[in-house]
């Protein structure tokens, strides 16, 4: 069975449903069997527990898998993909550049006018377009034609704040947030689709060529000058403003992380040199699986997914999956423990009907009768609930969010440990740039992540580690990398 429901979007992680309805009070008086569901909740909390020894094992295993992945292609679950980004933006970049960001259920187009160190970002505009669900399971040509059409419409609206010197082609930074084996700064072979995409005819092909062909079919005079992952774009965008940024992490629909590595610490480079002696490595950490605390609900969800046995870390910490895990727990509680009364709401059996933004919104409800929790359950899953049932729902949400946030924190520490073993970073300020709707809009998750980092590193070292939100950094970052790798001079 393939799960084909549309996951929440990285950039549209919303805390409220526009169609929220107030449940008539007469419908709230539903008997819930708290005693019967208590063992299910207790076992869930036990299976999801992330005490310090578990976090330490995850961090150590992450660092070890990184080393193995850097030694040889296929050396570990982590792809450790070379980005070919050897130099990061300095602030000297000038001119008009575009960015195209494909990384979830939306794609975003952006343009930016850069004015060098004196003016930095002069002007910027962007638009976001939802990708129809059928295109996520369609052909490569259909998907890229849809994207090129959106880019063409956006380019036609270029206003007076943006200036391209005559005789120049518009250059694009292409953020493509799926596993790609990069072959140069402006080319890369798709290894596989993730995040619920199953597009045919793209795997094994150069995604830049796929986009360029679609642009030609649209008769659009644009050229990709940088292909980057969203984490690489986020790192570049944050580094433009802060030279201490060394790591970037995306926590949204999907998840990934990248970091700045010394080329001497990458055996699989086999003598290739970098002008700076460093390069950005894209870990593809969603594929990590070593020692993670999993439940029966995780295993069932994975078995029914379109990529069974893969992306296990992503399935425990990212926004696409957290709400679905909660739904599966609540369905079992309703079925085995009559949590919502004698009958099980039919809608609750639909995969992905409960979204991670719903989890977050329910956890923000501080009212005495948890009225918002009741409304969300009713709107999203057709569930009538009483107060005792709502309290259990909050416990379930918190358990899954806590595990996810703490495991993400342990993953970050694993990256930092690997970096420290090469260049002793723990004694100085080091910034981890974070982006993605899950991190931005789920305060409990964010707090659990920070707590795990502090617990693992200790209070003294963790003072030097700054975990900083870099909102929408990947789009600007891709445009900046297009500028850094422009075929034209920057002095306009």
Query: Can you give the length of the chain in residues?
Result: 492
Neighbouring C-beta atoms of residue 389, cutoff 10 Å: 29
Measured distance CA(480)–CA(188) in Å, rounded: 19
Contact in structure between 54 and 46 (CB atoms under 8 Å): no
Is 195 catalytic? The answer is yes
Largest CA distance in the chain: 74
Contact in structure between 444 and 398 (CB atoms under 8 Å): yes
Catalytic residue, chosen from 60, 77, 86, 195, is 195
Instruction: Please tell me what DSSP assigns to residue 208.
Output: H
What residues pair up with 245 in beta bridges, in sequence order? 431
Dig out the tokens for 247 from the structure.
């790591």
Contact in structure between 432 and 464 (CB atoms under 8 Å): no
Cα within 13 Å of Cα(161), Cβ side:
11
What residues pair up with 110 in beta bridges, in sequence order? 99, 126
Dig out the tokens for 288 from the structure.
């990590």
Neighbouring C-beta atoms of residue 172, cutoff 10 Å: 28
Q: What is the dihedral of CA 198, 200, 201, 203, to 10 degrees?
A: 20
Measured distance CA(350)–CA(235) in Å, rounded: 37
Q: Is 388 helix (H, G, I), strand (E, B) or coil?
A: helix
Catalytic residue, chosen from 230, 398, 435, 472, is 230
Measured distance CA(143)–CA(145) in Å, rounded: 6
Tokens 């890229």, located at residue: 144
Q: Where are the beta strands (DSSP E) in 73-220?
A: 81-82, 94-102, 106-115, 121-130, 170-176, 180-184, 187-190
Dig out the tokens for 485 from the structure.
């790798």
Measured distance CA(222)–CA(152) in Å, rounded: 10
Is 268 catalytic? The answer is no
Measured distance CA(378)–CA(477) in Å, rounded: 41
Neighbouring C-beta atoms of residue 277, cutoff 10 Å: 10
Q: 223 burial class (0-12, 13-18, 19+ CB within 10 angstroms)? A: middle
Q: Write out the catalytic residue numbers.
A: 195, 230
């Amino acid at each position: 069975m393939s799960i084909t429901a549309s996951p929440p979007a990285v950039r549209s992680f919303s805390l409220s449903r526009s169609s929220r309805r107030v449940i008539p009070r007469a419908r709230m008086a539903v008997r819930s069997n708290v005693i019967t569901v208590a063992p299910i909740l207790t076992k869930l909390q036990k299976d999801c527990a992330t005490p310090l020894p578990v976090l330490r094992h995850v961090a150590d295993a992450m660092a070890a898998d990184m080393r193995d992945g850097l030694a040889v292609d296929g050396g570990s679950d982590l792809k450790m993909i070379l980005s070919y980004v050897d130099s990061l933006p300095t602030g000297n970049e000038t001119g008009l550049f575009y960015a195209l960001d494909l990384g979830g259920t939306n794609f975003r187009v952006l343009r930016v006018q850069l004015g060098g160190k004196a003016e930095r970002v002069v002007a910027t505009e962007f638009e976001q377009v939802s990708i129809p669900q059928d295109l996520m399971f369609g052909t490569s040509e259909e998907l890229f034609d849809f994207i090129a059409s959106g880019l063409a419409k956006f380019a036609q609206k270029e206003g007076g704040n943006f200036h391209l010197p005559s005789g120049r082609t518009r250059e694009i930074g292409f953020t493509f947030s799926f596993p790609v084996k990069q072959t140069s700064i402006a080319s890369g072979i798709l290894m596989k689709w993730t995040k619920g995409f199953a597009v045919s005819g793209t795997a094994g092909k150069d995604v830049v060529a796929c986009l360029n062909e679609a642009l030609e079919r649209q008769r659009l005079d644009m050229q990709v000058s940088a292909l980057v992952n969203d984490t690489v774009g986020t790192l570049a965008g944050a580094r433009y403003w802060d030279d201490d940024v060394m790591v970037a992490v995306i926590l949204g629909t999907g998840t990934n992380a990248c970091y700045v590595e010394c080329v001497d610490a990458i055996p699989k480079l086999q003598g290739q040199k970098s002008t700076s002696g460093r390069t950005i490595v894209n870990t593809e950490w969603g594929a990590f699986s070593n020692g993670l605390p999993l439940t029966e609900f995780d295993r069932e969800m994975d078995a029914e997914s379109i990529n069974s046995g893969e992306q296990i870390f992503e399935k425990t910490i990212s926004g696409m999956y957290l709400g679905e895990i909660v739904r599966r727990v609540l369905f079992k509680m309703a079925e085995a423990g009559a949590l919502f009364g004698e009958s099980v709401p039919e809608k609750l059996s639909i995969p992905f009907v409960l979204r991670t933004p719903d989890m977050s919104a329910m956890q923000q409800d501080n009212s005495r009768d948890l009225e918002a929790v009741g409304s969300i359950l009713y709107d999203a899953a057709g569930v009538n609930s009483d107060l005792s049932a709502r309290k259990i729902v909050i416990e379930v949400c918190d358990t899954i969010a806590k595990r996810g946030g703490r495991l993400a924190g342990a993953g970050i520490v694993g990256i930092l440990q690997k970096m420290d073993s090469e260049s002793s970073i723990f004694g100085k300020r080091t910034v981890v740039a974070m982006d993605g709707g899950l991190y931005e809009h789920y305060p409990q998750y964010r707090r659990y992540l920070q707590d795990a980092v502090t617990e693992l590193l200790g209070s003294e070292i963790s003072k030097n580690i700054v975990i900083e939100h870099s909102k929408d950094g990947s789009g600007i970052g891709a445009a900046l990398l297009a500028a850094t790798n422009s075929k034209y001079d920057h002095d306009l």
